[in-house]
């Protein structure tokens, strides 16, 4: 018994000092912030180097194929990721993690069989697809679309890493994907042209899915997240239980609804990101090249936001299931995203023509006066994307309806711009600003309702 210990009272074990919540959460977010920066640089280098090693027609073909890759991969893979994170976090909150291993095995088998079927189908349909897209030949079509299927498969294991809060391995996986794409796409394109570029993307994705599967298997064998995350989750669960807020079991219908809502929302976000380019190209084809030059860097901000939601989504889902919220994590996400947004917006205002000339050459600077407006529009869309993923993470599926209205409005106003650079960019900015304003109101209402629900549950739990 120590000199200051009261008689008859047992000594309490020493507790290891724990990082303040803010410091702990920042430590979790930093790997993904670094990964987002590295992925952005690698993607930019891939674009620039590919343009140098391919002919003008070949580079245009690769850009079309990459667009196909994004259409196949991004909405489906991201929707599956949302579903996996919500399912695993719900099971963890309700003590049903014993189901996880068998469920993961079934999902992996279904994904692998589907991928094999996709590869065969794309090999059979590569010529009709190339003809429909007015491509000179079918080189790279099957490889690029199959790579999109592999990316969807990667999303399963990335969802598991997110649900287990294994942000370091997740960040490593994202960097591996970007670096392998850079090296293999550019290297094989230099030797084999368009076919080589597509093959490079496919091999990069196969490498990525292998690393993701190994990392996810390790993560499933460990406790859920680092020690301080486990302790924090336990505290949240105790608070939720004390507040008489039981969490409903997340069943198959819930998973299907989550995936479908996320798929629809992400498809609509893709429309909000890319419809201005498509509409301008249809209305004024001779303006497409210069508008694409301001579009590529501006829309890179949205891809950066997609990397950062790998941190926000699991935090929102896990804390919501435990009866809490992730507003602080949302703030960290916006803080990291603000850095590239502010940098690019500043450059687009101060030296738009010089920046475009340095990256794309003097021939593609005609749209420079519209650069700042488009960048600001994509900054607002990045905020909309982050808020949408947060709302999907906590199960608010009506976000899809809000995005649908915004996407329809964007197509209409950009069509009315008749292919003019400034008119198209200003129309895009106006719609993005209006959409974000509506979504902010929805977010505030949903958060206030959740707060009242938690307060009501705590009152009931405290009643004798």
Are 329 and 440 found together in one domain?
Answer: yes
Are 261 and 410 found together in one domain?
Answer: yes
Are 298 and 170 found together in one domain?
Answer: no
What is the predicted pLDDT for the residue at 416? 92
Domain count, the chain: 2
Residue whose pair of structure tokens reads 């210069």 in the numeric block = 290
pLDDT average, residue stretch 249-258: 61
Per the confidence metrics, is the pTM higher than 0.85?
no
Are 204 and 100 found together in one domain?
Answer: yes
Smallest CA-to-CA distance from 276 within 140, 369, 388, 415 is with 415
Alpha carbons 100 and 84: distance in angstroms, whole number: 10
Alpha carbons 53 and 31: distance in angstroms, whole number: 32
Are 222 and 277 found together in one domain?
Answer: no
Q: Tell me the pLDDT tens digit for each residue of 304-357.
A: 888 888 788 788 877 877 777 878 888 888 988 999 999 999 999 999 998 888
Are 264 and 222 found together in one domain?
Answer: no
Alpha carbons 294 and 365: distance in angstroms, whole number: 8
Q: Tell me the pLDDT tens digit for each residue of 107-147.
A: 899 989 999 999 999 999 989 988 877 778 888 889 999 99
Whether 6 is covered by a domain: the verdict is: no
The answer to whether 250 and 90 have CB atoms below 8 angstroms apart is yes
Are 205 and 346 found together in one domain?
Answer: no
Whether 413 is covered by a domain: the verdict is: yes
Q: What length is written for the chain?
A: 464
Are 204 and 344 found together in one domain?
Answer: no
Whether 9 is covered by a domain: the verdict is: no
The whole domain housing 463 covers: 251-464
Are 183 and 89 found together in one domain?
Answer: yes
Are 205 and 261 found together in one domain?
Answer: no
pLDDT for residue 236 is more than 50: no
Whether 346 is covered by a domain: the verdict is: yes
Are 178 and 215 found together in one domain?
Answer: yes
pLDDT for residue 7 is more than 60: no
pLDDT for residue 285 is more than 80: no
Alpha carbons 299 and 290: distance in angstroms, whole number: 14
Q: How far is CA 421 from CA 98, 273, 294, 359, in A?
A: 56, 16, 10, 19
Smallest CA-to-CA distance from 325 within 446, 168, 441, 230 is with 446
Are 184 and 280 found together in one domain?
Answer: no
């Amino acid at each position: 018994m120590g000199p200051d210990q009261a008689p008859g009272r047992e000594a309490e074990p020493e507790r290891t000092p724990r990082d303040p919540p803010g410091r702990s959460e920042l430590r979790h977010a930093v790997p993904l912030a670094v990964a987002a920066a590295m992925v952005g640089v690698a993607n930019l280098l891939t674009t620039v180097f590919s343009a140098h090693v391919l002919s003008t027609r070949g580079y245009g073909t690769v850009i079309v194929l990459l667009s196909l890759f994004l259409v196949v991969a991004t909405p489906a893979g991201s929707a599956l990721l949302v579903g996996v994170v919500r399912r695993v976090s719900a099971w963890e909150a309700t003590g049903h993690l014993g189901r996880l291993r068998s469920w993961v095995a079934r999902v992996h088998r279904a994904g692998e069989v589907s991928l094999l079927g996709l590869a065969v189908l794309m090999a059979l349909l590569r010529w009709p697809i190339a003809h429909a897209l007015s491509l000179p030949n079918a080189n790279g079509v099957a490889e690029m679309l199959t790579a999109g299927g592999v990316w969807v498969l990667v999303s399963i294991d990335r969802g598991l890493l997110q649900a287990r809060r294994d942000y370091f391995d997740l960040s490593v996986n994202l960097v591996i994907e970007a670096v392998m794409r850079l090296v293999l796409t550019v290297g094989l394109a230099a030797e084999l042209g368009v076919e080589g570029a597509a093959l490079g993307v496919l091999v990069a994705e196969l490498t990525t899915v292998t690393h993701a599967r190994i990392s996810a298997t390790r993560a499933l064998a460990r406790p859920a997240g680092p020690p301080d995350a486990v302790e924090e989750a336990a505290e949240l669960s105790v608070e939720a239980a004390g507040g008489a807020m039981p969490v409903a079991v997340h069943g198959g219908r819930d998973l299907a609804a989550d995936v479908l809502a996320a798929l629809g929302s992400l498809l609509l976000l893709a429309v909000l990101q890319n419809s201005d380019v498509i509409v301008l190209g249809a209305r004024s084809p001779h303006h497409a090249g210069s508008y694409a030059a301001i579009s590529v860097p501006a829309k890179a901000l949205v891809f950066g936001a997609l990397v950062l939601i790998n941190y926000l989504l699991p935090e929102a889902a896990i804390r919501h299931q435990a009866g809490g919220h992730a507003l602080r994590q949302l703030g960290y996400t916006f803080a990291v995203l603000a850095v590239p947004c502010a940098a690019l917006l500043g450059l687009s205002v101060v030296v738009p023509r010089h920046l475009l000339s340095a990256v794309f050459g003097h021939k593609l600077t005609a749209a420079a006066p519209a650069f700042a407006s488009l960048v600001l529009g994509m900054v607002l869309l990045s905020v909309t994307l982050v808020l949408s993923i947060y709302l999907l993470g906590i199960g608010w599926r009506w976000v899809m309806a809000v995005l649908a209205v915004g996407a329809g409005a964007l197509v209409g106003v950009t069509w009315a711009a008749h292919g003019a650079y400034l008119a198209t960019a200003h129309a895009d900015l106006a719609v993005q600003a209006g959409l974000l304003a509506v979504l902010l109101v929805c977010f505030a209402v949903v958060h206030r309702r959740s707060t009242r629900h938690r307060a009501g549950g705590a009152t009931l739990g405290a009643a004798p």
